[in-house]
Structures are given as C-alpha cells and as structure tokens.
C-alpha cells in the first residue's frame, strides 16, 4: 500500500513538473524577481470615430476617454449622455433595449442591475499593438 502511495506521489510530482515547464507568461522569459518594465499607458483621444464591430452582439467600444467617470450604486456617469431620455440632446448612442431587461426578459423602467456597470463590457478603444499574438478574424462582413 505504501509503495502505491509513494509511486502515486512521485508520478504526480513528475506530471506537475512537466505542466509547469510548459506554462508561459506575458512577462516572457523574465524572472519573477526582476522588475517588470510597464508599457506606457495609452492616451485615449477625447473623441474619435467608433471602431467597427467584429462579431454579432459585441459590446461597442467607448470612443472617448472615461477617466474620472463615476459608476457606483447611486450614480452612473454614462447614463448622463446615453440614457433614453437624453441621448437625442447629447447626440450619444442610446442604451440598448436589452439593458432594460432582467434575467427573465421582463422589461424594466430603468437599466437592469446586471447591465448597470457599463465598463465591465464596454471598454475605451485605443489603436495599439496587441500584448499577445492574435489570429482573430472578424465574422462575415463585421470589422469593415
């Protein structure tokens, strides 16, 4: 019995060593103890044209800076321009009707709690080089 346990432990240690050897990091071959040179933070232009969508139901990217936007339980700065009662005045795209539905598809009078924190899905767009290799190809006519 002890031989089986010892053999199992040795095999598990060997397999985990092989698995760890194949893990690669965004840090490249840089040792953990070395300081990492952070890339410069990209400046988001104040306003820019919107990027094309790359697939069906992709959350559109935000074509402007959002620094200082407060989004918490009592305030959502995005809705000051994008809410259904102000978007015509501001010229901003209207919040999607899907954002007014709960998980049972019941239509609500205000943005659903699960869609309230905009920056979970909608991110500021910046034209920059990808951090990792990406072979993604937009679906159909998307991305044009």
pLDDT (tens place) for every residue of the chain, 144 residues total: 777 788 777 777 777 765 565 666 776 777 777 776 776 777 777 777 877 888 888 899 888 888 888 888 889 999 999 999 999 999 999 999 999 999 999 999 999 999 999 999 998 887 777 778 888 888 777 766
Helices (H) and strands (E) in the chain, counts: 3, 2
Lookup result for tokens 């500021």:
124
Q: How far is residue 61's CA from residue 56's CA, in Å, rounded to a whole number?
A: 14
Count CB-CB contacts under 10 A for residue 110. Answer: 11
């Amino acid at each position: 019995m002890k031989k089986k346990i010892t053999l199992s432990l040795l095999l598990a240690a060997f397999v985990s060593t092989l698995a760890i050897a194949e893990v690669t990091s965004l840090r490249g071959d840089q040792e953990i103890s070395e300081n990492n040179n952070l890339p410069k933070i990209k400046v988001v232009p104040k306003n820019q044209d919107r990027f094309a969508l790359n697939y069906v139901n992709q959350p559109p990217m935000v074509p402007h800076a959002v620094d200082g936007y407060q989004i918490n339980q009592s305030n959502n700065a995005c809705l000051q321009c994008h809410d259904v009662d102000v978007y015509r005045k501001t010229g901003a795209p209207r919040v999607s009707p899907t954002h007014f539905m709960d998980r049972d598809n019941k239509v609500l009078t205000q943005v659903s709690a699960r869609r309230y924190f905009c920056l979970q899905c909608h991110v500021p767009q910046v034209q920059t080089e990808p951090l990792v290799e990406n072979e993604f190809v937009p679906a159909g006519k998307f991305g044009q």
